[in-house]
């Protein structure tokens, strides 16, 4: 089974940087995903990490440490439209999602 | 089609009735997931199909829930004798690679 832990809510200021952490415990690890979900919409894929290190994609970066069971999503130059829930998901034999972190970006 | 298609987009049903929810994955995608999301909550895993392998049904909450995937493509999630606690958004996702699962827009089920 899996246990995935994320903060429930975060608030950050427009233009700033925010880091959303995710810790997990799994019997077998085969990749970690980050998804963005705006209220009332389906989740959309942001990033995938299977090896240790940082993956950068524009304003968004995702980091993974398999030995620590830890990942973070880094959002730079925050925009109001980044207000959404950010879901961490871990795959062993199947993909299981955490409960998500609701990010509010304020002016 | 270009994306994952789910139907209906909204379904209101009376308690005790059966419902069928449909998912058309992206053509060629071998992996298909069903998740359930209650208001303000995370995604709850229901069932996972991968190619011709036996599905992983470990997330189905009760024997009232079942799902099938015909011909490795379209999937139907059936809920029998619906209860009010079944009210949620049911999301389907598919993938043909190791990453980048694409979600459909979901079916919002309301049991009254």
Residue B40: predicted pLDDT: 77
> Is it the case that residue A2 has pLDDT exceeding 80?
no
Give residue B36's pLDDT: 96
- For residue B25, give the DSSP letter: P
Contact A97 B103 (CB under 8 A): no
Q: Which of residues 48-107 of B touch A (CB under 8 A)?
A: 48, 56, 58, 91, 98-106
- Measure CB to CB from residue B45 to each of A41, A50, A96 and give the nearest one: A96
Contact A33/B at CB under 8 A? yes
What is the distance in angstroms between the Cα of A52 and the nearest Cα belonging to chain B? 16
DSSP state of B39: T
Tell me the pairing of strands A101-106 and A9-13: parallel
| pLDDT band of A1, cuts 50, 70, 90 | low
Closest CA to A71 of A93, A92, A49: A49
Counting one residue from chain A and one from chain B, the pairs whose CB atoms sit within 8 A come to 46
- Report, as an integer, the average pLDDT of B75-86: 97
Mean pLDDT of B76-86: 97
Q: What is the pLDDT of residues A37-58, one digit of tens each?
A: 998 899 999 999 999 999 998 9
**Among A7, A4, A13, A22, CA closest to A107:** A13
DSSP characters over B54-91: PPB-TT--STTEEEEEGGGS-EEEEE-S--GGG-EEEE
Q: Give yes or no for residue A81 having a pLDDT over 80.
A: yes
């Amino acid at each position: 089974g899996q246990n995935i832990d994320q903060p429930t809510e975060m608030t950050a200021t427009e233009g700033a940087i925010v880091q959303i952490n995710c810790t997990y415990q799994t019997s077998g690890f085969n990749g970690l995903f980050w998804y963005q979900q705006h209220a009332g919409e389906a989740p959309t894929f942001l990033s995938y990490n299977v090896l240790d290190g940082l993956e950068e994609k524009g304003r968004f970066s995702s980091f993974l440490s398999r030995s620590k069971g830890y990942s973070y999503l880094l959002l730079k130059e925050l925009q109001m439209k980044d207000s959404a829930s950010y879901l961490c998901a871990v795959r062993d034999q199947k993909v299981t999602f955490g409960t998500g972190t609701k990010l509010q970006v304020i002016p | 089609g270009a994306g994952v298609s789910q139907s209906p987009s909204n379904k209101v049903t009376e308690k005790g009735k059966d419902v069928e929810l449909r998912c058309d994955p992206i053509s060629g995608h071998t992996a298909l997931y069903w998740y359930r999301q209650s208001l303000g909550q995370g995604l709850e895993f229901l069932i996972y199909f991968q190619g011709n392998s036996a599905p992983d049904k470990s997330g189905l909450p009760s024997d009232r829930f079942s799902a099938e995937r015909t011909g490795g493509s379209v999937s139907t999630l059936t809920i029998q004798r619906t209860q009010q606690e079944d009210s949620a958004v049911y999301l389907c996702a598919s993938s043909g690679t190791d990453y980048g699962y694409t979600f459909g827009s979901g079916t919002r089920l309301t049991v009254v």
